[in-house]
Amino acid sequence: MSAPTPAPGDDRPREGYYPDPSIPGYVRYWNGASWVPGTSRPAPADGEPLSPPPGV
Q: Could you report the per-residue pLDDT of 20-54, keeping only the tens digit for each?
A: 989 999 999 999 889 999 889 999 888 888 877 77
Query: SS3 sequence, the chain?
Result: CCCCCCCCCCCCCCCEEEECCCCCCEEEEECCCCECCCCCEECCCCCCCCCCCCCC
The whole-number pLDDT of residue 29 equals 92
The whole-number pLDDT of residue 5 equals 74
pTM of the full predicted structure?
Answer: 0.69
d(CA 40, CA 29): 7
Identify the CA nearest to 23 among candidates 40, 39, 5. Answer: 40
